[in-house]
Structure 1
Amino acid sequence: MSFQFGSNCGDSSRTSTGISPIVSTDISSIGNEGSVTSYTKSPGGNMYYIPSSVGEIAIPFTHQVFESLDKGYKFYKDYGRLGGFSVQKTTEKRDDDGETILLKHYVCSREGFNDPKDDSGDKVVQRRQIASQRCGCKAKMVLKYMAGGQYFVFSFVELHNHPLASETGRQFFRVNREMNINLRNIVFDSSKVKIGCITSFSFAKELAGGYSNVGATLRDFRNFNRDLKTFVGENDGQMLIDKFKVNQENSKSFYFAYDVDSAGHLTKMFWADPIGRRYFELYGDAVSFDATFDTNKYNMIFAPFTGVDKHDKCVTFAACLLSQESIEDYTWAFDHFVKSKGRNPVVIITDQCTAMKKFPVKLGNPLCKETDFMEKMKNRIWSSNLEIHEFEEGWETIIKEFKLEGNKWLSDMYAIRSSWIPTYFRDGPMFGLLRTTSRSESENFFFGQFHKQGDNLYEFWIRFQTTMERQRNETARLDHESKCTTPTTIFTWYIKDDTADLFKRAIFYKFQEEIIRSCLDMQIKRMSEEVDGVTHLEISDVKVKDKIFKLIYEKISFGGGSAFDSFNPSQQYPGGYSSIAFA
């Protein structure tokens, strides 16, 4: 971009007040980005610069009339954008009533000088190292009020005492940067999925076709993100409550509750949307509750109520935020869960690892880390193949071996064993799918993709909504896949079509695996004679050593020649005992 420097004093459309007579001297010098620059020296040796690449129609002139101050400011700002300098508003003069602006100054952003900082005292002041842009530039445009509410150019100084920006450098001027609605949406929407400003700025660059076309800098992106957090500030709890109230007004099926402490701080919050409540009606017999996920700057515990759907995938029924893990807080959350759903689940299953983590705290590290106590206890607690009497006998043996008969905590845990030892509730429907810690870990990983510990509560809610949208979209995809595809079978079996219609794809393949296991891994060791339609079987599994599983096969007659074959396990069978019928 080229610039020409010279006096336009003879042009009636120009005013060069305060500038001494100059002699024009043209030379060529290579500036940044290879631009060619011309300059003019005054008799005192000062250099002055005039934009030369601006069309005549875009250059202000004295007595030029504008309909308003805003239009005049926009005109001068566009002139600066094309000419290579930034514009700012400065002094103004008003009439006696203080309403009407009589005189308004618009100047080059490099006008004036920075005030020197006084660091002469004993106290050392650390300051940011910021280069000063101000150099006393006199370029300006002054608008004056005229009858009818219009304004005219009262004074226009065209000469600058500093080099003007090249074409590639103009993008960094504040006048050429604006966080418009599109860029704001990019920052805001990116934050929903835990994408930071650097990545969102790079994404905006790709959309615009280059950094120079974005219309903002990375610092602008960061400042806007900071301003969003500042706007929310310490009112994020109230903003979230207000949002929930709006949701409840729009949908009576949206349920929420909250509690505050004596200082008015939010301590508990529970919510359940209509879709989550519908999921509970379908899959809510067994509910998993995991209160180990920390997702916000207040260290409130996020605890989702989770179930397993027809695709063997986790679905969220409801969720809560708790300030502490106490019996009172858990009771409050469970009470509102039942109130929102209208009934109790058959069972609520919590993370099994939590109980095990308490052993070293309650019993001491030497016992738990320097002996095989923990290994033996784990084998007795988490084995899915133990019978109730086997667990109880094993527990008693371990307690005696390590002389823990008088330990009150272990006695209390044993007294409530039916609520936390899997062998006591393994036969319930869906319980086997939920009892493993992998469900809890899967949910933590899933939510962790969207949340950050430094989030305020409103940011957390926005990202939680994104998480739910993804989870439910995946359910819709799996529904479509099950309706529009035919499962692949390893071999032909006569109930294939019926089971393919009955089960969704993931469950169908699990059922098929059980059929294969019954053929390859299981052996009938003993089968009794049929007596009154009942046959007793003893079965072994090659993957479970030294274990015999007992089954009862019963034919039930309904009259009219129809009969129903029933399998009942007298001991838990590890792989879907009914599949043995097809082996």
Structure 2
Amino acid sequence: MTFSSEAEVTLYYMNYAQRMGFGMSKISSKNGDDGKKYFTLACSRAGKYVSTSKNLLKPNASIKTQCRARLNACICLDGRVVVTSVTLDHNHGLSPNKARYFRCNKNMGSHIKRKLEINDQAGINVSRNFRSMVVEANGYENLTFGEKDCRNYIDKVRRLRLGTGDAEAIQNYFVRMQKQNSQFYYVMDVDDDSRLRNVFWADARCRAAYEYFGEVVTFDTTYLTNKYDMPFAPFVGVNHHGQSVLLGCALLSKEDAKTFTWLFTTWLECMHGRAPNAIITDQDKAMKKAIEVVFPKARHRWCLWHLMKKVPEKFGKYSEYESIKELLHAAVYDSLSKSDFLERWEKMIECYALHDNEWLKGIFEERHRWVPVYVRDVFWAGMSTTQRSESMNSFFDGYVCSKTSLKQFVEQYDSALKDKIEKESKADFGSFNSVIACVSHFGFESQFQKSFTNAKFKEFQVEVSSMMYCHTSFEELVGYNSIFYVIESKKVYDKAKDVVFKVSYNEKDFEIQCTCCLFEFKGILCRHILCVLKLSGKTDLVPSHYIFSQWRKDIKRRHTVIKCGIDNLTGNVELQRVGKACDAFYEVASIDISTEEELLEVMNWIKDLKIKLTCKKNSPIIIEEVNSIQNQASRILDPIVARGKGRPPSKRKASIVDKIIKKKIAGKKTRSSQKRTSCQSSEEVILSL
């Protein structure tokens, strides 16, 4: 037989092998003295078995049987391929039904690869990914690949995305990101041995969001994210919907003052030297020292929840624990003034003789960092804890766990951030497209309805609705300020309690202030001020400076129009072209094709187009994947496992994935232990008999 090319004869023999039920491979190729090229296509079971097992008692399986079935051909000088000899007999069984399992018959088309990559980035595991393709193909026998092939391809794609080494892969990723958007900012800190210590990065969207939401941030390092035990340290703010917004993040190798100083300085440079007005952290001396150096003018607040959760640990052994706890909570949460707090604190100390308690002494000296009555005169966006950072940490659950490598972490970080951005976009649309009805006829409620986002307007409506629990009375006139007392009926532990608040109102300059400091703390007018406005007959409008700009929906914020600085991890131009073509084909297929004639017309058109495109391909196109960035100054080594600070294990938060794995392992150990105990008991009974 004669063929026009080597590829044609190879395809012919492959189809023959598939119909007969054996695999094929090219086993030799050489140039002859006559100028011709000779090659051999043979059964995949040709050749002699050579053991590669290190254990002679456990030999590896082999397919080699020295089968002589083959096809010999030569490429003539004019380009024609002539078959010189053929051996058809095999020394083993053939099975056409099993031919799809041979490697030569496995083929994964570009559209399949595209679907695998998309589903992988969406977080769909390979098993479900493959099962969906089985259903689509109407059975395993109709697929030209298996689940293992899908798994191998996904592993290969992930390696191509970020390279081989963790540190080097992150560096390559950051360089690519900066090429896409010059506003992408990153710093990699290495030690004297060129080993990665710390890394910080913030994309263009984070930097733009800081312009609007950088007045107050929370910072927390209590979440482990990777196999190097490097804590994930996000800077988190609050956007106009009250949602957490990422303002930069880091992976740290240590948690000492030097490392935090480096991080805060780097973050400040990233944000063009604009420091936050307020920052919330946990009770950490290293953080405190670094903040005093880098952000000397910022108000530093300790997380109230982290501090108060230590109460059982510090006083659990006291016989009067419940009473001490009740008095401490009353002093912290119920004090309306500094003098009130000091009075309650002294009462607790005197009553239970706690003068020598070192922990109480320490937190009392730093009371301006955590007691609500000492910090509520500053805008904190309604936050008193690092819950925002922790919620951002928990947001990454399902994407990362303690076994995640650094290069996997960067990849999953992008996926989680996309989800976060989509939620903000949905909230923007909700505030743009819908209006929450007012619950009163007051003009100021309608004013805030038009100005605030839906989420923040709901919070304002809570204050409007709670006016019914308040009773307002005029007390006195001091200069231009009218003093009002507002008595609010609060429900505490199923008991009604009256609490008195003092409101100062300068009607001339329209300046109004309440001792609860809700507006200063949260940016929303409190119910007590609203009651005074109602009593004064000023229910139409309030000055614009009482409509806090951070909660407004009518401001065009730059970060919402910046394309998210997330790397296109697909990165394969060929697959992108295939994707566009598939979308177009799906659109054609979705048109109502009601008759067999219409279907035949479409199929013939696709067949003609396929022939036309195939004829244009004179030579195979090789798509090269860029594995690394060239001309790097130096190679950065992977980090060493980070050492902890010696704090209790409960300090660290584990991801949901880690918790599930730990629970399963514990369950297996328990069952195996019970099984051993049962066996031992049975043996004892038998021996006694």
Same fold (TM over 0.5): yes
Q: Which has the higher contact order (CA 8 A, sep 6+)?
A: 2
Q: Any conservation in 2 of the 1:104–1:143 contact (CA below 8 Å)? A: yes
Q: Structure 1's 79 and 440: CA in aligned 2 closer, same or farther, altered over 3 A?
A: same
Q: Structure 1's 384 and 429: CA in aligned 2 closer, same or farther, altered over 3 A?
A: farther
Q: Any conservation in 1 of the 2:438–2:449 contact (CA below 8 Å)? A: no
Q: Structure 1's 569 and 124: CA in aligned 2 closer, same or farther, altered over 3 A?
A: farther
Q: Structure 1's 465 and 117: CA in aligned 2 closer, same or farther, altered over 3 A?
A: closer
Q: Name which of structure 1's ranges 423-432 and 331-340 shifts more when overlaid on structure 2.
A: 423-432
Match of 1:463 among 400, 403, 412: 412
1:567 is matched with 512
Q: Any conservation in 2 of the 1:552–1:569 contact (CA below 8 Å)? A: yes
Residues 1:540 and 2:488 are matched in the alignment: yes
Give the Å deviation of 1:463.
1.8
Give the Å deviation of 1:406.
4.9
DSSP 3-state at the match of 2:396: helix
Q: Structure 1's 387 and 228: CA in aligned 2 closer, same or farther, altered over 3 A?
A: farther
2:40 is matched with 105
CA distance in 2, matches of 1:373, 1:180: 71
CA distance in 1, matches of 2:352, 2:330: 15
Give the Å deviation of 1:386.
5.2
Q: Structure 1's 368 and 276: CA in aligned 2 closer, same or farther, altered over 3 A?
A: farther
Give the Å deviation of 1:214.
4.3
Q: Any conservation in 1 of the 2:336–2:515 contact (CA below 8 Å)? A: no
Question: Which whole-Å deviations, capped at 9, do the CAs of 1:284-331 have from their partners, x for residues lacking one?
Answer: 111111212222222211121111111111111111111222222222
Q: Name which of structure 1's ranges 178-187 and 475-484 shifts more when overlaid on structure 2.
A: 178-187
Within a 5 Å distance, the mapping from 1:347-426 to structure 2 comes to 347-351=278-282, 352=303, 353-355=305-307, 367=317, 371-372=321-322, 375=325, 379=329, 383=333, 387-396=337-346, 405-406=355-356, 411-426=361-376
CA distance in 1, matches of 2:44, 2:451: 73
Q: Structure 1's 102 and 183: CA in aligned 2 closer, same or farther, altered over 3 A?
A: same
1:321 is matched with 251
Q: Structure 1's 266 and 359: CA in aligned 2 closer, same or farther, altered over 3 A?
A: farther
Give the Å deviation of 1:245.
2.4
Within a 5 Å distance, the mapping from 1:474-493 to structure 2 comes to 474-493=423-442
Residues 1:528 and 2:475 are matched in the alignment: yes
Unmatched tracts of structure 1, length 5 or more: 1-62, 559-563
Within a 5 Å distance, the mapping from 1:38-77 to structure 2 comes to 63-68=1-6, 70-77=7-14
Q: Which has the higher helix share?
A: 2
Q: Structure 1's 277 and 79: CA in aligned 2 closer, same or farther, altered over 3 A?
A: same
CA distance in 2, matches of 1:152, 1:556: 104
Q: Which has the higher strand share?
A: 1
CA distance in 2, matches of 1:101, 1:322: 63
Q: Structure 1's 451 and 116: CA in aligned 2 closer, same or farther, altered over 3 A?
A: closer
Q: Any conservation in 2 of the 1:93–1:102 contact (CA below 8 Å)? A: yes
Match of 2:242 among 312, 317, 331: 312
**Rg larger for:** 1
CA distance in 2, matches of 1:542, 1:164: 85
CA distance in 1, matches of 2:56, 2:335: 72
2:29 is matched with 92
Give the Å deviation of 1:240.
1.6
Code of the residue aligned with 1:426 in structure 2: it is R
DSSP 3-state at the match of 1:551: strand
Residues 1:178 and 2:107 are matched in the alignment: yes
Q: Any conservation in 2 of the 1:179–1:216 contact (CA below 8 Å)? A: yes
Q: Any conservation in 2 of the 1:533–1:554 contact (CA below 8 Å)? A: yes
Give the Å deviation of 1:421.
3.5
1:18 is matched with none
Residues 1:154 and 2:84 are matched in the alignment: yes
1:221 is matched with 150
Question: Which whole-Å deviations, capped at 9, do the CAs of 1:518-538 have from their partners, x for residues lacking one?
Answer: 22x3344x5414565503214
CA distance in 2, matches of 1:384, 1:238: 53
Code of the residue aligned with 2:404 in structure 1: it is D
Q: Any conservation in 2 of the 1:376–1:398 contact (CA below 8 Å)? A: no
1:299 is matched with 229
2:213 is matched with 283
Q: Structure 1's 537 and 397: CA in aligned 2 closer, same or farther, altered over 3 A?
A: closer
Code of the residue aligned with 1:557 in structure 2: it is K
Q: Structure 1's 209 and 268: CA in aligned 2 closer, same or farther, altered over 3 A?
A: farther
Within a 5 Å distance, the mapping from 1:504-519 to structure 2 comes to 504-519=453-468
Residues 1:79 and 2:16 are matched in the alignment: yes
Aligned residues: 501
Question: Which whole-Å deviations, capped at 9, do the CAs of 1:350-381 have from their partners, x for residues lacking one?
Answer: 253444567788x6x96489945984587268
Q: Structure 1's 199 and 278: CA in aligned 2 closer, same or farther, altered over 3 A?
A: same
Identical residues among aligned pairs (%): 26
Give the Å deviation of 1:202.
2.4
Code of the residue aligned with 1:221 in structure 2: it is C
1:344 is matched with 275
Q: Structure 1's 308 and 118: CA in aligned 2 closer, same or farther, altered over 3 A?
A: closer
CA distance in 2, matches of 1:382, 1:208: 65
1:243 is matched with 173
Q: Any conservation in 1 of the 2:51–2:59 contact (CA below 8 Å)? A: no
Give the Å deviation of 1:135.
4.0
CA distance in 2, matches of 1:147, 1:577: 98
Code of the residue aligned with 2:203 in structure 1: it is D
Q: Name which of structure 1's ranges 545-554 and 224-233 shifts more when overlaid on structure 2.
A: 224-233
Residues 1:550 and 2:496 are matched in the alignment: no
Q: Structure 1's 537 and 296: CA in aligned 2 closer, same or farther, altered over 3 A?
A: same
Q: Name which of structure 1's ranges 213-222 and 397-406 shifts more when overlaid on structure 2.
A: 397-406
Q: Structure 1's 206 and 549: CA in aligned 2 closer, same or farther, altered over 3 A?
A: farther
Question: Which whole-Å deviations, capped at 9, do the CAs of 1:378-436 have from their partners, x for residues lacking one?
Answer: 7268637554344444555556667664565654443333223443222322442x224
Give the Å deviation of 1:571.
4.2
Code of the residue aligned with 1:108 in structure 2: it is C
DSSP 3-state at the match of 1:293: coil
DSSP 3-state at the match of 1:550: strand
2:451 is matched with 502
Within a 5 Å distance, the mapping from 1:3-14 to structure 2 comes to none
CA distance in 1, matches of 2:327, 2:410: 40
Q: Structure 1's 358 and 324: CA in aligned 2 closer, same or farther, altered over 3 A?
A: farther
Q: Any conservation in 1 of the 2:483–2:505 contact (CA below 8 Å)? A: yes
Question: Which whole-Å deviations, capped at 9, do the CAs of 1:530-560 have from their partners, x for residues lacking one?
Answer: 56550321422322565623222414325xx
Give the Å deviation of 1:456.
2.2
CA distance in 2, matches of 1:463, 1:393: 51
Give the Å deviation of 1:124.
7.5
Code of the residue aligned with 2:415 in structure 1: it is T
CA distance in 2, matches of 1:87, 1:518: 84
Q: Structure 1's 413 and 183: CA in aligned 2 closer, same or farther, altered over 3 A?
A: farther
Give the Å deviation of 1:134.
3.8
Code of the residue aligned with 1:347 in structure 2: it is A
Question: Which whole-Å deviations, capped at 9, do the CAs of 1:242-283 have from their partners, x for residues lacking one?
Answer: 222232244332211110123322121111112111111111
